[in-house]
Chain A
Amino acid sequence: MKLRYIYLLALLGSLELPAYTNFIENPYTPYPASCISAPEWWFFANEPDWVKFHQGTISLKSATPPYVSRTAVVKAYRAVCAEENRSLVWLQFTTPTDHENIFYQAPEVRARLADGRSVLMSLSQAPGSWNLSAAPSASAAIFGFNNCIGNNGYCSRVGWAFVLDNANPLLPGISTQTILSSGQYNDGFQLELKGQDFAPVHVINVPPTNLFSHLAPRVPLSGRLSGSWVIEGAADQGLALSIAEIVSAEPAWLYEAPYAAALKATLTWYTFDSQGDMLWISGSADFSYGATEISMPLELASQGEFQGSQTAERRIIGSVKITGNNCNDLSFEYDLTELGLGSGSEHLKRLFALETAGYTCRDLDARMKSLQVGTGQ
């Protein structure tokens, strides 16, 4: 009998079943979803874009033998997003290094709002970040262990960072009335962390997002930017951008390196040539999570056959560089000198502020606002 199974039998006395909703994203995140479309390291690479506003210690209970309470360091940060008055709240727990084989139960986290309400929060991870007990449990969360197992890279990790998030309103007990709006999330509020059963509640005062005097200059390029884009003022023409995953035939199942496929951007530009005739040009580029700009050559296909197998003549006629500024703004530098169309720098905006169904880029508040004011931004 496998060791795991013995443990299973021994501990069945208090088993409960976790349930979660992993297949649909939370449409009520209080931050722009694209703001966490890069691995954890990306956010802490540029200090002006984050501020540490709290550091203290918290007593956590271990979830496995020996059942002891241990003191961990908790740090809290705000990391500014590319959207106005939007930032992420990060909580980072650093566990002691003097004990091996200890698993810590994450604290219960509640937001105390100005009106006195106490709102249960959840903690999310950025894609491509650490991947221990990633999401399967809605009833409990465990993190932290200091021992080495095989060669999976466990040994050095003692810090675990989470994004403070609304609990998914699709979970029982949570509703649209019991989650933080983007406005509340970006205002100042108090966080209450409850760790070890009899320890005092650890209070963190979260400052408002306006502690930043700037926006994040870039947003990582991700699938959330896929869709239809236009150049303001350019009539009857547009671009289709698709950011897709390149699946590996042999994905790594490494615990410290959660599955994050390489990305491929493909672009088709629907426009007109110097004579006003229809022109479509296309390009593609491979890149990794976290990249904020990509360059790609542009190809022209000509003398093709409608629905036929005759191969068109293809040649590279220029290049383009795309930079992610925010969910609704991409910088677009092109060089089509060879076609007599010159070169230049433009901004791409979303067509009708539409975002991929079920996989939006901005938070709901921002999207509703754009609809109400009819700006398409």
Chain B
Amino acid sequence: MKHLILLATFLCHSAWALDGSGVDNSFANYPPGCISIPELQTRLYGNNIVKVFEENLLLIDANNTNQKRTAIVSGYRVGCADANRSVVWIAFSIPQGSDPETRYIMPLVSFKLADGYRPYATLSREPDGPTFFQHELVDQMLGGPANNGIDFMGRKTWIYILEYPPATAYWDRPMLADEYNSSFGLQFYTQKSIKPTKEVQVPATASVLSPNPDFPLNGRLSGQWITEGAADPGFHISISELPPASKPEPDQIASTPLLLFFYWHTFGLNGEQLWLTGAAIFQSGDSQVTFSLLEVNKGEFLGSKPADRRLAGAAVLTGLNCNDLGFDYDLQALGLGSGSTHLRRHLALETAGHACRDLNTRISEVAP
């Protein structure tokens, strides 16, 4: 019976929208941190995207549902910084020379997994950038003239992220990241078709991509971090955003400057307690930030007396992946030398409701 919900979902044309804006999809089968800066994805990872299929696909003409017209469907794997992880993009393109007034009804897409399970796929849009306002809320159509005056005239390609929906009643089982990054089939159904009108195979991530060398610093990295092998000391990283002075348009969201607050609690030359702080403002998409480290001493517990502050050194923080930050420091002024190390998450914990990695990876870390 639960499958009926799935089917019923497709039956209806309500303009009413359920919006899970309050929560993440806990079951996203890619690392959420991998798409935290979608607008910059191509610039950041431009050399780590591979097209895995391109096919002609007949879609229903929304203006004349007895008519089918050819579109081009392409699939891409886009590399993540995390090993053996990528995001699958599905792009629908309208051939050159097509009637610009034509509107297409979107196809249904379902996975075809190795064990025969064929759950339907959800196509998500990136939060901004080139995919913004790409189709109508109600009718899910591609192409055609302006949608209430807000679509981009002349758009030829619509890009979506292929994913598995969050836990719902029509699940048979979850589809976690390992399966998403293995080879799987995709089936496209157009309206009124009994059989899939197109079936393609998406190759495994590891067979076509290497991990990205960079990872943008973002709020999903906030939390407690430690240095492997160093007992007791730790770091707290807080990546925050300043509220805008005026209400931004949606396509400005990704360009909000971010502020890093960095705390390091450790020990001095003689084993005494030492804590250092640093801060830096950087732009969304930056994967590395350099900042000064301050020593703050001779203060007053809960008092107003200003402490003595002095420059203790400098540090460079580099995003490598959700659980790995490069950390270079220079504390020669304190007699502690300089060095280069990696930060790992404390107990693999990630900010509640705002995880960086996919659930599959996080489970594997705590599994015996």
Contacts and interface: CB of A to CB of B under 8 A. Distances in A.
Q: Is the interface of A mostly helix, strand, loop or mixed?
A: loop
Interface in A193-251: 222-224, 226-228, 231, 233-237, 240, 242-249, 251
Interface stretch (A44-52, A74-82, A322-330, A353-361): A353-361
Contacts of A120: 15-17, 137
Given A105-B14, A245-B350, A12 B194 contact: yes
B222 A236 contact: no
Given A235-B307, A356-B238, A108 B8 contact: no
Contact of B253 (A27, A174, A271, A352): A27
Interface stretch (B72-80, B94-102, B169-177, B315-323): B169-177
Interface stretch (B48-56, B203-211, B224-232): B224-232
Interface string B114-151: 00101010111101100011111111100000011011
A306 B354 contact: no
Contacts of A13: 191-192
A106 B244 CA distance: 35
B288 interface: no
B294 to A, nearest CB: 10
A16 B189 CA distance: 10
Given A21-B127, A169-B250, A356-B351, A235 B303 contact: yes
A245 B352 contact: yes
A64 B9 CA distance: 9
Contact of A124 (B19, B32, B233, B258): B19
Contacts of A274: 301
B354 A266 contact: no
A305 interface: yes
A348 B123 CA distance: 42
A279 B273 contact: yes
Contacts of B273: 277-280, 301-302, 304
Contact of B150 (A106, A139, A172, A244): A172
8 contacts: A15-B108, A26-B21, A136-B18, A136-B166, A136-B168, A228-B236, A231-B302, A357-B256
Contacts of A266: 224, 346, 349
A139 B233 contact: no
A346 interface: yes
A136 B152 CA distance: 25
> Number of contact residues on B: which range applies?
35 or more
Given A245-B352, A251-B363, A276-B297, A306 B336 contact: yes
A301 B231 CA distance: 10
B291 to A, nearest CB: 15
Interface of A: 2-5, 7-9, 11-27, 29, 33, 36-37, 63-64, 101, 103, 105-109, 120, 122-127, 131-142, 145, 147, 149, 162-163, 165, 167-176, 222-224, 226-228, 231, 233-237, 240, 242-249, 251, 253, 255, 258-259, 261, 263-264, 266, 268, 270-274, 276-280, 282, 301-312, 314, 341, 344, 346, 351-360, 364, 367-368, 370-372
B219 A278 contact: no
A268 B3 contact: no
Contact of B353 (A18, A127, A173, A282): A127
A240 B297 contact: no
A76 to B, nearest CB: 16
Contact of B238 (A173, A240, A244, A246): A240
B223 A244 contact: yes
A18 B314 CA distance: 49
Contact of B123 (A19, A107, A268, A271): A19
Which 3 residue pairs spanning A and B have beta carbons closest together?
A357-B219, A135-B20, A223-B352
B58 interface: no
B306 A270 contact: no
Contacts of A240: 224, 236, 238, 263
Contacts of B2: 149, 255
Given A126-B22, A263-B352, A278-B297, A167 B17 contact: yes
A377 to B, nearest CB: 12
A249 B368 contact: yes
A25 B355 CA distance: 12
B341 interface: yes
A245 B353 contact: yes
A175 B150 contact: yes
B16 A264 contact: no
B166 A301 contact: no
B76 to A, nearest CB: 17
A36 B60 CA distance: 41
Contacts of A259: 26-27, 167, 359
Contact of A354 (B9, B261, B303, B350): B261
Contacts of A310: 231
Contacts of A222: 352-353
Contacts of A176: 247-250
Given A16-B140, A354-B242, A304 B271 contact: yes
Among A19, A22, A33, A107, chain B packs the most CB atoms within 10 A around the CB of: A22
Contacts of A233: 302, 304
Given A23-B25, A368-B246, 16 more contacts: A4-B172, A19-B123, A122-B16, A124-B20, A137-B9, A138-B137, A226-B222, A227-B222, A243-B351, A244-B347, A253-B167, A276-B297, A303-B267, A354-B241, A357-B240, A359-B219
A244 B24 CA distance: 14
Nearest to A149: B1
Given A124-B21, A172-B134, A22 B148 contact: no
Contacts of B116: 2
Contacts of A3: 3
Among B127, B132, B193, B272, chain A packs the most CB atoms within 10 A around the CB of: B127
B247 A368 contact: yes
B7 to A, nearest CB: 5
A267 B23 CA distance: 24
Nearest to A229: B238
A242 B22 contact: no
A309 B230 contact: yes
Contacts of A18: 9-10, 122, 140
B35 interface: yes
Contacts of B258: 357
B132 to A, nearest CB: 7
Contact of B109 (A17, A135, A263): A17
Contact of B7 (A8, A149, A356, A358): A8
B184 interface: no
Interface in B286-311: 295-307, 309
